[in-house]
Structures are given as structure tokens and as C-alpha cells.
């Protein structure tokens, strides 16, 4: 690759990481590797490593960041509930989606022919990029960048996207002639973010309590807990 082209791409990678992860690149090598798919010419011709090892590392770092976030944000969530939420957040579908939204494919060093980039390549690259940020800037900076990225793309809404727990609870209550009521217990701040703690009663009995950054999301979270008690699963 000619020097001018290489320099331009390196500058684009630095801007990309700064924009989407909020960190300045200190060592460029891990990021070049993160964007290098095993099909790339440089990987095959020059023997440079592909992003597979960083993908492995980034997968574990992502798991830790998401587990920590869920543990703090859902103090009343049980193990099974949080495991399912974590699985959705770090699923291949979610990572492919994030990769597409921030334009990972435009920096990928991969041979894809004339067809479009396969969604899996984006998701794999996302994991590798997280691994690269971790190697370059450490866990705390990586955690802050990942959480900022997840919040930017409305992760909490995506957590509730599969099932509307509030509607599900109301429908169940109507069939059994049991009144469903939501009540704000308190407003508070966590890590500088305003949050609402919500309680839901079914037939006068408290069935779920949880919190969220808005009344609507707190209602969904509380309804989810209630549905767990009533139906046993999601």
C-alpha cells in the first residue's frame, strides 16, 4: 500500500476511534489489526495477523462491561433475567447492527469481491476493535467508550424490543379482572444520570420493582419483573 494511502487510512482510523469510542489512539498497531480480516491481501501476502485474536479478547471484555452495567442498573434482576439481557446485548445480531450504524465496513481490510460486506464481518470487527481499545487504553477507558456507544444507540429500548411487558401484564390483568397499577417510588441519580424507581401492583399486591432513566423504561423494567413472577420466563 503506497505511503500516502496508508497515512490517510491511519488518520481515518484514528478519527473513527476518537469519534465512536471517545479515546485518542496511543498505539496504532492494535487498531490496524482489528480492521484486518483474514481474507485481506496484507494478511495473506505479508503474513500479518488477522483480527481473530483481538476478536477473542474483545468478546470477553464486552461481556465484562455489559455484565457490570446490568448488575448495577437492575438491582432487582435475577441471574436468569440478566443472563438473557446480556445475551441480547452482545449477540451477533446486536454487534452486526452496531457495526453497520458506525460504518465499520468502510475501514475493513477484507476481500469481499463485488458483493456487500457480510454482516458477520462487522460484528467480528466490533469485538476486535473493543479488544484493540482495551490493549491501547485499558479497561476503564474501554468501558466508558463502550457504554457511551451502547447508550447512543438506545440499548435500553432494545432490551425491551422483543416483548412489551407492560402491555402483556395489562392484558393478563384484564382477563383475570385484576387491576394493574404503576407507582413512582422515588427519583434519584446514579453515576450522574437521573433515574426513576417504579413499583407495579397487581390486584393490590406488589409484583415488581425496578428502575430506569425514564418513567416509561422504569415501568417496562418493573413489568418485566412482574411477568417473571407470573409466567416464570420471558
- 63 vs 102: CA distance, rounded Å: 20
Residue 46: active-site member: no
Residue of 127, 197, 211, 219 marked catalytic? 127
Residue 127: active-site member: yes
Residue of 10, 52, 59, 156 marked catalytic? 59
The 3-state secondary structure of 122-161, one letter per residue = HHHHHHHHHHHHHHHHCHHHHHHHHHHHHHHCCHHHHHCC
Residue with cell 496508508: 6
Q: Single out the residue of 65, 35, 63, 59 nearest to residue 49, CA to CA.
A: 35
* Catalytic residue annotation: 59, 127
Amino acid at each position: 500500500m503506497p505511503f500516502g494511502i496508508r497515512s490517510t487510512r491511519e488518520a481515518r482510523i484514528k478519527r473513527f476511534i476518537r469519534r465512536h469510542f471517545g479515546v485518542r489512539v496511543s498505539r496504532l498497531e492494535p487498531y490496524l489489526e482489528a480492521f484486518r480480516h483474514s481474507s485481506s491481501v496484507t494478511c495473506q501476502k505479508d503474513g500479518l495477523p488477522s483480527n481473530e485474536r483481538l476478536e477473542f479478547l474483545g468478546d470477553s471484555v464486552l461481556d465484562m462491561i455489559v455484565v457490570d452495567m446490568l448488575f448495577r442498573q437492575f438491582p432487582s434482576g435475577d441471574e436468569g433475567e440478566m443472563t438473557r439481557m446480556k445475551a441480547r446485548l452482545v449477540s451477533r445480531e446486536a454487534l452486526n447492527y452496531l457495526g453497520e450504524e458506525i460504518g465499520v465496513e468502510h475501514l475493513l481490510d477484507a476481500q469481499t469481491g463485488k458483493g456487500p460486506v457480510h454482516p458477520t464481518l462487522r460484528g467480528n470487527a466490533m469485538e476486535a476493535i473493543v479488544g484493540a481499545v482495551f490493549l491501547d487504553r485499558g479497561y476503564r477507558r474501554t468501558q466508558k467508550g463502550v457504554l457511551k456507544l451502547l447508550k447512543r444507540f438506545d440499548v435500553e429500548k432494545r432490551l425491551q424490543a422483543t416483548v412489551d411487558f407492560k402491555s402483556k401484564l395489562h392484558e393478563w390483568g384484564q382477563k383475570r379482572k385484576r387491576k394493574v397499577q404503576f407507582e413512582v417510588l422515588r427519583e434519584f441519580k446514579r453515576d450522574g444520570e437521573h433515574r426513576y424507581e417504579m413499583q407495579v401492583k397487581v390486584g393490590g399486591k406488589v409484583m415488581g420493582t425496578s428502575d430506569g432513566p425514564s418513567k416509561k423504561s422504569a415501568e417496562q423494567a418493573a413489568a418485566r419483573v412482574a411477568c417473571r413472577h407470573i409466567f416464570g420466563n420471558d
